[in-house]
Amino acid sequence: MAKIIQEPSRTFGEYLLIPNLTTKDCIPENVDLSTPIVRYKKGEKPELSLNIPLVSAVMQSVSDNNMAVALAKNGGVSFIFGSQTIEEQAEMVRKVKKYKAGFVISDSNLTPENTLEDVLALKQKTGHSTMAITEDGTPDGKLAGIVTSRDYRITRDSLDKKIKDFMTKGEDLVVGQEGITLKEANDIIWQHKLNSLPIVDKDFNLVYMVFRKDYSDDKEHPLSLLDKNKSYIVGAGINSRDYAERVPQLVEAGADILCIDSSEGYSEWQKDTIAWIKNYDKNIKVGAGNVVDREGFRYLADAGADFVKIGIGGGSICITREQKGIGRGQASSVLEVAAARDEYFEETGIYVPICSDGGIVHDYHVTLALAMGADFLMLGRYFARFDESPTAKVKLGSGYVKEYWGEGSNRARNWARYDLGSSKKELQFEEGVDSYVPYAGTLDDGLGITLHKVKSTMCNCGCKNIAQMHAEARLCLVSSTSINEGSAHDVILKNQ
Ligand code: IMP
């Protein structure tokens, strides 16, 4: 007969934290949310840490280069989705590594031979009215000039007028040379009363644009996660099929950390993938998963995973449990894997960080997951709601929503994520849905509030860092009746 685990599997909503003594120095401003993301030996420092314990999901609808920059500015990491061609994914990684706060890789480019009609169409598409004109129309071609909305009048000019006849020509432009600092670029902008400054290399090829409005960016993000060259740290998702082609190109593009993206990670496919990567270059960092128990964790830790990801069936867009009857409540999974991580550390002296992936509904679930032993969390729905996610913002009723779809939905068709060695495409079935999530504004604002809540609760628990939460937090199970007690009750709410 099958072995039955008698304890029901539980999720975050079934637990609450109990306060510990809050000392006077235990205030949100003093809470440090940094946390390791790769394995390290006892007494040594991890080679890579996060400044906040959040990473964004390996999903088309969540993690592109735009999200990666926005999250790294705030101290976290995005894992750029792998359900695209290797070249496209590597290009996204490259864009993040090339990004420098305030230095924008131009996404609005035309050639001098294009027309005013092309200018208006591009403006409509990107929303940007300043366009760099290059000889070949590429973002790094020879700079021919610049067009802004002050260079033409829609009411007067004919739509087929050539750009070369109304742009500000290259020889008349004030430019900055590659290598100048943001401060120097802004000094030029102020001195010449410009709105933008093209940065060129010694052959007058366009490298970046600097816009007047971006100046304060650097100062507003003290937790930025940067490599030694001051580029943002970025991750990338891989699968257990085409890693021999994908991994070298991602690493070459500058990916700092990889993650095998799979719905179920306790498999020989993952072990082989990790072995191949470490044999190719032992310095490449790669996380694996997902697992939900001690056995799965130990298998991947022994296989050499740099971190292990937890969670099956708990994602907001996930229908794996319905489709396949496999999974486990996220809280039970995190608690068991955290115990396994500590046991592994005791035995081997190697700390393998664990990541709770999926199922975060309320901000306080982040704090619960940390208290339960997670070193960091991966979130999809949460990040999909912000301006910086790659998906469309749609008006629905009186408000806005953003699109959000699962990697196992027919929309993403990321079947490699569900790899069990079968190549019979006609037998593929969905494990995810296509949906909307409420729009939540900018990442900076939303994340700021979430993290402040996390820090506040940690202070209630008397904890100033995540390791202390692991050691000292106290949790209790709640009954269904006491869950009712937790929200406003027995009152008539105003404004409803
Ligand atoms: P969320 O934060 O609750 O939205 O969950 C995000 C997580 O769901 C991801 O990090 C993946 O682990 C998982 N996931 C993504 N796409 C799918 C899918 O189509 N089916 C099942 N799980 C998915």
- Give the CATH number, domain containing residue 57: 3.20.20.70
- Between the CA of 301 and the centroid of ligand 1 the distance, in Å, is 22
> Both 231 and 198 in a single domain?
no
Establish whether 26 is a catalytic residue. no
Shared-domain flag, residues 56 and 157: no
Residues 56 and 137 in one domain: no
Q: Are residues 322 and 452 in the same domain?
A: yes
Q: How confident is the model at residue 218 (pLDDT cuts 50, 70, 90)?
A: low
Average pLDDT for residues 344-360, to the nearest whole number? 98
Is the CB of 14 inside a 6 Å radius of any atom of ligand 1?
A: no
Residue with CA nearest ligand 1 atom 13:
315
The share of the chain scoring above pLDDT 70, in percent, equals 98
pLDDT of 410 higher than 60? yes
pLDDT of residue 440: 97
**Cα(272)–Cα(419) distance, rounded to whole angstroms?**
13
Percent of the chain with pLDDT over 90: 79
Question: Residue 324 above 80 pLDDT?
Answer: yes
For a ligand 1 pocket test, name from 81, 405, 407 the mutation site with the most ligand atoms within 8 angstroms of its C-beta.
407
**pLDDT tops 80 at residue 426:** no
Whether 205 and 229 map to the same domain: the answer is: no
Last residue of a domain, one of 163, 193, 214: 214
457 CA distance to ligand 1 middle (Å): 26
| pLDDT score, position 182 | 84
**Whether residue 360 has its Cβ less than 6 Å from ligand 1:** yes
**Does any domain span residue 309?**
yes
Same-domain status, 312 and 400: yes
Same domain, 126 and 267: no
> Exactly one of 26, 318, 355, 461 is catalytic; which is it?
318
In a domain, 2, yes or no: no
Please tell me the distance from the alpha carbon of residue 330 to that of residue 201, in angstroms, as a whole number: 51
pLDDT level of residue 425 (50, 70, 90 thresholds) = confident
- Across the range 383-411, mean pLDDT stands at 95
CA of 453 to the centre of ligand 1 (A): 24
Q: Is 294 a catalytic residue?
A: no
Q: In the prediction, which pLDDT does 219 show? A: 61
In this structure, is residue 291 part of a structural domain? yes
pLDDT at 211 (0 to 100): 87
- The CA dihedral of 384, 387, 393, 398, to the nearest 10 degrees, is 100
Domain edge (last residue) among 214, 243, 270:
214
Give the per-residue pLDDT at 108.
74
Q: In the predicted model, is pLDDT for residue 64 greater than 80?
A: yes
Report whether pLDDT(496) > 70.
Answer: no
With cut-offs at 50, 70 and 90, classify the pLDDT of residue 224.
Answer: very high
Residue 6 lies in a domain: no
pLDDT confidence bin for 216, thresholds 50/70/90: low
Interval 249-277: pLDDT, tens: 999 999 999 999 999 999 999 999 999 99
On whether residue 146 sits in a domain, the answer given is: yes
Q: Is residue 374 in contact with ligand 1, taking CB distance under 6 Å?
A: no
**Rounded average pLDDT over 29-44:** 98
Give the tens place of pLDDT for each residue, 77-122.
999 999 999 999 999 999 999 887 778 878 778 999 999 999 999 8
Q: Is 320 in the pocket of ligand 1 (CB under 6 A)?
A: yes
User: For residue 479, how far is its CA from the centre of ligand 1 (angstroms)?
Assistant: 28
Kindly report the protein residue whose alpha carbon is nearest to atom 22 of ligand 1.
Answer: 318
Confidence class for position 201, pLDDT limits 50, 70, 90: very high
**141 and 264, same structural domain?**
no
Report whether pLDDT(143) > 80.
yes
Specify the pLDDT at position 272: 97
Pocket lining: 316 vs ligand 1, CB cutoff 6 Å: yes
Res 424: pLDDT: 75
- Within 8 A by CB and 6+ apart from 486, the residues are 16, 478
By mean pLDDT, which of 85-89, 319-323, 377-381, 481-485 is the weakest? 481-485
Please check whether residue 492 lies inside any domain of the structure: no
Q: How confident is the model at residue 487 (pLDDT cuts 50, 70, 90)?
A: confident
pLDDT of residue 142: 94
383/297 same-domain check? yes
CB 59 near ligand 1, within 6 Å: yes
Same-domain check for residues 113 and 202 = yes
Q: How high is the pLDDT of residue 183?
A: 84
Measured in angstroms, how far is the CA atom of residue 366 from the centroid of ligand 1?
16
| Residue 122 falls inside a structural domain | yes
Q: Which pLDDT value is given to residue 213?
A: 67
- Residue 495 counted as domain residue: no
Indicate if ligand 1 lies below 6 Å from the C-beta of 431: yes
pLDDT for residue 38 is more than 70: yes
82 within ligand 1 shell (Cβ under 6 A): no
- Ligand 1 mean position, distance from CA 283 (Å): 28
Q: Domain containing 175: what range? A: 109-214
Report residue 366 as tokens. Answer: 């982040």
Q: Say yes or no: CB of residue 289 within 6 Å of ligand 1.
A: no
Q: If you measure from the C-alpha of residue 291 to the centroid of ligand 1, how many angstroms do you get, rounded to a whole number?
A: 14
Lowest mean pLDDT among 201-205, 209-213, 392-396, 437-441: 209-213
- The CATH number of the domain where 134 resides is what? 3.10.580.10
pLDDT value at 495 more than 80: no
Number of domains composing the chain: 2
Tell me, yes or no, whether 24 and 167 share the same domain.
no
Q: Are residues 313 and 412 in the same domain?
A: yes
Listed residues 173, 193, 214: the one ending a domain: 214
Catalytic residue among 94, 341, 381, 417: 417
Q: Give the residue, 308 or 221, on which the prediction is more confident.
A: 308
More confident residue, 475 or 106: 475
